[in-house]
Amino acid sequence: MEIVIVPDAATGGELIARAIAELLTDKPDALLGVATGSTPLPVYRALKSRVEAGTLDASRARICQLDEYVGLPEGHPESYRAVVLREVVEPLGLTEASFLGPDGAAADIAAACAAYDRALAEAGGVDLQLLGIGTDGHIGFNEPCSSLASRTRIKTLTHQTREDNARFFDNLDEVPHHVITQGIGTILEARHLVLLATGEAKAEAVALAVEGPVAAVVPASALQLHPHATVVVDEAAASRLRLAGYFRETYAAKPAWQSI
Ligand code: PGA
C-alpha cells in the first residue's frame, strides 16, 4: 500500500486526476469507479479542468457507482445516481449511457444487488476505484463489521454515518437508514484502489486503516489486502500516522516515471 501525504485537498485531487488521465490514455474506455461525498470533489474538478483544457479525452470513459441509498424517490437530487450524474458524468461530457449503477428503487433489492455485481463483471471489472473513508472507517457503505468477503448487498447505516451525511438533507430524519453498497470483496476486485481522505475528522480512521490490523471493524483496513492500493491524505488526515515520516521520504524518493 502506498501512502501519499499531500499539503491539501486540491493537490490530492490533482494527483489522482493525473493517475486517471494516464489510465484513460492507456485505456480510453477504462471503467472508473467513483465515490460520492465531499472528499472526491477536488478530483472531479481537476478532471473537468483537464477536459475543458483539451488535455484529457474522457469521451470513452465508463463510470460506475460505489453505493446508493435505498428508498429515496426516483430522481431525488441526493440519490447517488443523481449525484454521480451531476458531479462526474455530465462535467466530463458523458451521458447516462456510460454509467453503471445499482437500482436503489428496485422492488427486489437483493436481485438488484446481484445484478450489479454481474454487470460490473460483464463490463470487464473496475479499472480504478476511487474511495472515501467514513469517520467510522467505512469504505463504500460497508459499515464496521462488514464481511471482508462481502458482495454488493443491502446494509444499514450507523447513526454516525447518518449524522455525517445529514448535511446533504434537510434534517437527520430524511437520511435513509438503508443503502446498497459494493461489498468489500467486490471493491477488492478493482485493479487499482485509490482512497482519498482529507481533514482532521478522518485522521483516526486513516491511522487505523493503514497502520492497524486488518479487521472487519475497520472496513478500510481491507485495502491492506489489495496488491495496488494508494491512500492519498492531506496533512490533517495524516496527523495520526506513526509512520508519516517514512511515507513522506518514500514518496519524495519515488522515481519520476512511476505513477501512483
Ligand atoms: P465524505 O464521505 O467524503 O463526505 O467525508 C466519505 C465517506 O463516507 O466515504
Instruction: Give the number of domains in the chain.
Output: 1
Over its C-alpha atoms, the chain yields an Rg (Å, rounded) of 17
Q: In whole angstroms, what is the distance from residue 88 CA to residue 84 CA? A: 5
Q: Which among 136, 164, 192, 234 is annotated as catalytic?
A: 136
pLDDT in tens for each of the 260 residues of the chain? 999 999 999 999 999 999 999 999 999 999 999 999 999 999 999 999 999 999 999 999 999 999 999 999 888 999 999 999 999 999 999 999 999 999 988 999 999 999 999 999 999 999 999 999 999 999 999 999 999 999 999 999 999 999 999 999 999 999 999 999 999 999 999 999 999 999 999 999 999 999 999 999 999 999 999 999 999 999 999 999 999 999 999 999 999 888 89
Q: Which residues line ligand 1 (CB under 6 A)?
A: 37-39, 132-134
Task: Determine, yes or no, domain membership for 67.
Answer: yes
The whole domain housing 66 covers 2-252
Task: Determine, yes or no, domain membership for 258.
Answer: no
Q: In whole angstroms, what is the distance from residue 223 CA to residue 158 CA? A: 21
pTM assigned to the model: 0.97
Q: Which atom of ligand 1 is nearest to the CA of 132?
A: 9
Among 123, 138, 104, 109, smallest CA distance to 217 is for 138
Give the CATH number, domain containing residue 63: 3.40.50.1360
Task: Determine, yes or no, domain membership for 87.
Answer: yes
Task: Determine, yes or no, domain membership for 257.
Answer: no
- Looking at this protein, which amino acid is placed at residue 236? A
Task: Determine, yes or no, domain membership for 260.
Answer: no
Apex 127 CA angle, 241 and 138, nearest 5: 40
- For residue 188, what is its C-alpha cell? 477488492
